[in-house]
Amino acid sequence: MSHTINDDDVDIVIAAIRPDLTTFMEEWRIIFSRFHLIIIKDPDLEKDLQIPPGFNHDVYTKLDIERVVGPAASASLSFSGYLCRYFGCLVSRKKYIVSVDDDCVPAKDDKGHLVDVVAQHITNLRVPATPFFFNTLYDPYRPGADFVRGYPFSLRNGVECALSCGLWLNVADYDAPTQIVKPQNRNSRYVDAVLTVPVGVMMPLSGINVGFKREVVGPVMFPGFRLSGEGKKRCETLEDIWSGMCAKVVCDHLGLGVKSGLPYVWRGIGEENDAMESLKREWEGVKLMEEVVPFFQSVRLPRTAVTAEQCVLEMAGMVKQRLGPLDPVFERAANAMVEWVKLWKAIGSGSS
């Protein structure tokens, strides 16, 4: 369905964690070159970015971030490392954002065809989601599929989908301990399915390969959940897991859908096998997720919260009150959520 995408509706957001984007962008050229790219340089990165010619792109650096975000918000919001990606939400004016980590290249499907990650995310976002009853044949709107016997007809129109969470072949998205215990584990199973994550069900949204409707999900895609011992490896982060759970709670509350499954990316170029270095650190995430998941599972937002912005502010209050006393990371996250909504209203919420 890629031929039906209006190029002007999509921004591709790239967090440049590594300075040399040449391989990354050449691999994606066939898919990305028709779209506008927002490239945010990790503010910790000192070397100049290397970007091959022939792309319609804007690069944002530490200076741009400081200028746009301002000193007040900078105190609460970190854009370091993978968190720099969120700056793209602020400056985009497009309907859809698709974001892929810079260590991924296009995957091939089970028939050997190149996966068009943008086309699949946009399809996922345009086709309704079905959060209120589980369809055993996965996406009922896919050609050749339908709703299974027993599915209530009143639910067959589905709801708007706001967020599409893609997957990864080769190096899967494991946390630091799993990555250390199973350094050779590779995901080779291409599962040809997209499914709606049901209402009330929490899932770990990976930021490696996502697509979303900017105006709906942008207020929730905030930076600021940064672990103290975090480095520049995905397996050490939880920022996307946190904002993903915020997004799931908000989508559930607003009656919007979240999907998981296709499209796949091929993950792993440039990956350094520094398991030994990680072994020296204790990964804070092991402890924190034991609090984070039950918290988000229990969050109930008031009926008065009818926009994503209001939902985030409500959640920030609950985070501060219920999780704040447990660990400073939660207090910081709550402050970041409040600051992000301010920034979003001032800068991000405009449309093209």
Pick one of 202, 299, 312, 323: the residue that binds a second copy (CB under 8 A).
202
> Could you say whether residue 146 binds a second copy (CB under 8 A)?
yes
> Could you say whether residue 147 binds a second copy (CB under 8 A)?
yes
Least distance (Å) from a second copy to the CB of residue 79?
A: 21
Could you say which residues in the range 203-222 bind a second copy, by CB under 8 A?
A: 203-206
> Could you say whether residue 191 binds a second copy (CB under 8 A)?
yes
> Which among 196-204, 218-226, 314-322, 342-350 is the span making contact with a second copy, rule CB under 8 A?
196-204
Least distance (Å) from a second copy to the CB of residue 122?
A: 20
Q: What are phi and psi of 348, to 5 degrees?
A: -85, -25
> Which among 11-19, 211-219, 232-240, 304-312 is the span making contact with a second copy, rule CB under 8 A?
232-240
Whose structure tokens read 């993903």? 244
> Could you say whether residue 114 binds a second copy (CB under 8 A)?
no
> Could you say whether residue 134 binds a second copy (CB under 8 A)?
yes
> Could you say whether residue 201 binds a second copy (CB under 8 A)?
yes
> Could you say whether residue 66 binds a second copy (CB under 8 A)?
no
Q: Which residue, 91 or 104, is less far from a second copy as judged by CB?
A: 104
Could you say which residues in the range 289-328 bind a second copy, by CB under 8 A?
A: 289-290, 292-293
Per residue, what are the HEC states of the chain? Answer: CHHHCCHHHEEEEEEECCCECHHHHHHHHHHHCCCEEEEEECCCCCCCCECCCCCEEEEECHHHHHHHHHHHHHCCCCCCHHHHHHHHHHHCCCCEEEEECCCEEECECCCCCECCHHHHHHHHHHCCECCCCCCCCCCCCCCCCCCCCCCCHHHCCCECEEEEEEEEEECCCCCHHHHHHCCCCCECCCCCCEEECCCCCCCCCCCCEEEEEHHHHHHHCCCCCCCCCCCCCHHHCCHHHHHHHHHHHHHHHHCCEEEEEEEEEEECCCCCCCHHHHHCCCCHHHHHHHHHHHHHHHCCCCCCCCCHHHHHHHHHHHHHHHHHHHCHHHHHHHHHHHHHHHHHHHHHCCCC
> Could you say whether residue 149 binds a second copy (CB under 8 A)?
yes
Pick one of 39, 65, 167, 210: the residue that binds a second copy (CB under 8 A).
167
- Calculate helix-pair angle for 328-343, 284-298, nearest 10 degrees: 60
> Could you say whether residue 110 binds a second copy (CB under 8 A)?
yes
Least distance (Å) from a second copy to the CB of residue 189?
A: 6
Least distance (Å) from a second copy to the CB of residue 56?
A: 31
Site string for a second copy, 266-285 (x = CB under 8 A): -------------------x
Interface residues with a second copy (CB under 8 A) are 110, 133-138, 142, 144-155, 165, 167, 172-175, 178, 182, 185-193, 197-198, 200-206, 234-235, 238, 241, 244, 260, 285-286, 289-290, 292-293
